Amino acid sequence: MGMALGLAGCGVADSYASLPAFMRAKPNETHSLDPQPDVRKLLHDTPNSVFTPESHATNVRISALHRVPSGPGWTVCVKADLVSVVGRPIGAQTYLATIENNVVVDRRHSSEDDNCETETYTPL
> Is 15 a residue whose pLDDT tops 50?
no
Percent of the chain with pLDDT over 70: 74
Q: What's the predicted TM-score (pTM) here?
A: 0.72
Residue 10 has pLDDT above 70, yes or no: no
Taking the domains of the chain in order of start, what are their residue ranges? 29-123
- pLDDT, one tens digit per residue, over 89-103 is 999 999 999 999 999
Q: Provide the CA 17 distance to its chain's centre, in angstroms.
A: 34
What percent of the chain lies above the pLDDT cut of 90? 61
pLDDT at position 22 over 70? no
For residue 98, the tally of other CB atoms under 10 A from its CB is 16
Angle at 73 between CA 69 and CA 75, to 5 degrees: 75
Average pLDDT score, the chain: 83
- Of 119, 75, 77, nearest to 94 by C-alpha is 77
H or E, element range at 90: strand 89-100
* Res 84 pLDDT > 90: yes
What integer pLDDT is reported at residue 39 of this predicted model? 94
What pLDDT, on the 0 to 100 scale, is given for residue 5? 47
